[in-house]
Structure 1
């Protein structure tokens, strides 16, 4: 699992990507619609930052900002650590562990967003492997 390239982990997966001037409420509504815990924020198509549920809670809600008028660019996390899609998934997990964060934007060589890796992806892959193992065991039980 950790040696799988990131492009396999994010293949055919949607992610939320928004312009820097979009209001926070619109961003969080997209996050809700797509069941995502973070959005990648761009300026002229290049990644500028990441906006997470935590940013919405602490930088907007707890600060008393108006989500309808506050642009996401004022409350995002600037210059997040990123990874390219040819790297192994385990490298992204290590980055998250070392940095104490739960999301890593996946970008092209020129900084354009390609996807998003979340710490929960490790659980998704483990659950998939667990399911496959259960099927194998059931098949063996039928044979015996």
Structure 2
């Protein structure tokens, strides 16, 4: 069974986060600078929320709020669903599909260990399938 840890091993461990008091505008600037589409919201070492481009579109743009004057805590998704490094990739896919989410924070106890996106999961699955096909072709041709 393939695990979340295997995805984490293929990507740099960089977790970008802001505090709940951060303005939406400042969070968007970080997201732009880092070329990411989701930020974790942390209070010290505790995960309290996640903010995504989808949150921005639905909770700021469509509601006519000001990015400069709105705190991220007002529009973040509180208590996000998390997975552990030992959880299966299939579980990640199931959660993302069922909950219509594109990012999953990875937590070990109270500590955030990283985050995976739907793109990370799909990329890993495709690479794994290519390897399986290659092994089967080698076996058949032997």
Q: Give TM-score scaled by structure 2 length.
A: 0.81
The yes-or-no answer on 1:76 pairing with 2:69 is no
SS at match of 1:86: coil
1:40-59 pair list within 5 angstroms: 40-59=40-59
SS at match of 1:90: helix
Q: Give TM-score scaled by structure 1 length.
A: 0.80
The change in CA–CA distance for 1:85 and 1:126 in structure 2 (over 3 A counts) is closer
User: 1:95-131: per-residue Cα shift (whole Å, max 9, x none)?
Assistant: 1112222221111202x32211111113322454577
Counterpart of 1:89 in structure 2 is 89
SS at match of 1:96: helix
In the TM superposition, residue 52 of structure 1 has moved relative to its aligned partner by: 0.7
1:1-144 pair list within 5 angstroms: 3-11=1-9, 12-110=12-110, 112-129=111-128
SS at match of 1:13: coil
Do the aligned partners of 2:7 and 2:121 also contact (CA within 8 Å) in 1? Answer: no
Do the aligned partners of 1:15 and 1:34 also contact (CA within 8 Å) in 2? Answer: no
SS at match of 1:49: strand
The change in CA–CA distance for 1:126 and 1:108 in structure 2 (over 3 A counts) is closer
Unaligned segments of structure 1, at least 5 residues: none
For 1:58 and 1:128, locate their aligned partners in 2 and report how far apart those are by CA, in whole Å: 34
Unaligned segments of structure 2, at least 5 residues: none
For 1:51 and 1:30, locate their aligned partners in 2 and report how far apart those are by CA, in whole Å: 12
Do the aligned partners of 1:6 and 1:86 also contact (CA within 8 Å) in 2? Answer: yes
Cα RMSD (Å) of the superposition? Answer: 2.3
For 1:15 and 1:36, locate their aligned partners in 2 and report how far apart those are by CA, in whole Å: 10
Do the aligned partners of 1:40 and 1:113 also contact (CA within 8 Å) in 2? Answer: no
For 1:130 and 1:83, locate their aligned partners in 2 and report how far apart those are by CA, in whole Å: 23
